[in-house]
Amino acid sequence: MLDHQYPYPEFEARRSILAGILLAIITCGIYSLYWQYKQMDTLNAWLGRNDYSFWLWFFVCILTCGLFGIYYEYKMACGINEIQHNKGMYVDSSLPVICVLLAIFGVGIASLAIQQYQINKLYGDTSDG
């Protein structure tokens, strides 16, 4: 499918989950900030709203010692569910809870990976690429 058929270009949104995890580890988490930014940008486009602000998330996470990040994991998973519902796709209602639990237990990278898997599904085939 051509990128112009989607509200956000596929080449910008679709990411390799394995590469994302490896880059996040190699860069000591710096890549995960970029990954989070791209996911927020993608969800905003698919929803047609500006629900997710990277800089708000970034600075409020710092001020709240990461607690706001847990809320944002929930909020982003709910946004993914909304997009899936709007597209007539299967909606995993446990996604927000799973993402919150992963964030609480300090494995936010796993939450990023799960959310990326769901975002990749918006573009069709769910292979890692």
Residue 127 forms part of a structural domain = no
Q: What is the pLDDT of residues 54-96, one digit of tens each?
A: 999 999 999 999 999 999 999 999 999 999 999 999 999 999 9
CA 111 to chain centre: 8
Tell me the C-alpha distance between 57 and 95, whole Å: 20
* DSSP state letters, 41-64: HHHHHHHTS----HHHHHHHHHHT
Q: For residue 89, tell me if it sits in a domain.
A: yes
Higher pLDDT, residue 126 or 90: 90
50: exposed, middle or buried (C-beta count within 10 Å: 0-12, 13-18, 19+)?
Answer: exposed
The domain tally of the chain equals 1
The reply to whether 83 falls in a domain is yes
Mean pLDDT of all residues belonging to the chain: 92
